[in-house]
Amino acid sequence: MNSVRVVLVRTEVAANLGSVARIMCNFGLHDLVLVSPVADPLSEPARQLATHHAFHLLQQARLVADLETALADCVSAAATSARTGGLFRRQTVGPPEQIAQLFPPGRVALVFGPEPSGLTNDEILRCPHLIHIPTNETCPALNLAQSVAICLYELQRVRLERERCPASPVASLDEQHRMFAKLEESLRQVRYLRGVRGEALMHALRHLLSRAQPSPMEVRLLLGLARQLRWVAERTRFEEE
């Protein structure tokens, strides 16, 4: 579990920070990243809930300004949300035990949003997967620390099952993000992405390729494809529709 990162975005309740640190300690995790926290991770409520076993995780937690920075060196990530559906929440969505099976070897992140509102659509879009914990319709929202505990338990269970089955390396999310940007630019130049459907098509393409868990070599292959598409676009005259 040393390769699992917990990312908390704009957490508002200090006690939740402490509880999450304690849960991470229970599962042997050490990598905690806080994105623009509202609550003070070193405050007394956080210290009390972390207890002396896990307060060091709050002391050494990395504070960053945005989710992109928090995920830059990860090979995959899963956002969490009580809400599903809509254009931005249609990626690989499932309960934690299902999404845990899709994580490749390497550093992966579990991303949890702020208590009042959860993650934004833009933040959801940064993650190839979406975890939805099935709950009762009349009370769907779990406490932040409870969500973290459920997800880490399922992830550890899957990791133990796959311990003896190493797989190929996967390109980092930062590498994939740069590749998607170049690919989108090229596809727009050759008029594949156009009009009102362009955004939806690119969204679908991103998640198609993300599910394939491309290796660094495959990312370089797609970057080569993007360069060739740009070369064709520069030498081709497209008729306006």
**∠ CA 46-120-2, rounded to 5°:** 50
State the CATH class of domain 4-161. Answer: alpha beta
Mean pLDDT of 143-167: 85
Mean pLDDT, range 125-148, rounded to an integer:
90
Beta bridge partners of 80: 131
Whole-number average pLDDT of the chain: 90
- In this structure, of 2-6, 57-61, 141-145, 164-168, the range with the lowest mean pLDDT score is 164-168
Its CATH architecture, for the domain 173-234, is Orthogonal Bundle (1.10)
pLDDT digits (tens, 9 = 90+) for 165-187: 666 788 998 999 999 999 999 99
pLDDT at residue 91 greater than cutoff 70: no
User: 28-78: per-residue pLDDT in tens?
Assistant: 999 999 999 999 999 999 999 999 889 999 999 999 999 999 999 999 999
The confidence score (pLDDT) of residue 241 equals 47
Instruction: Select from 137, 139, 144 the least CA-distant residue to 11.
Output: 144
- What values do phi and psi take at 42, rounded to 5? -105, 10
Residue 1's pLDDT is 72
pLDDT value of residue 212: 87
Domain coordinates of the chain in residue numbers? 4-161, 173-234
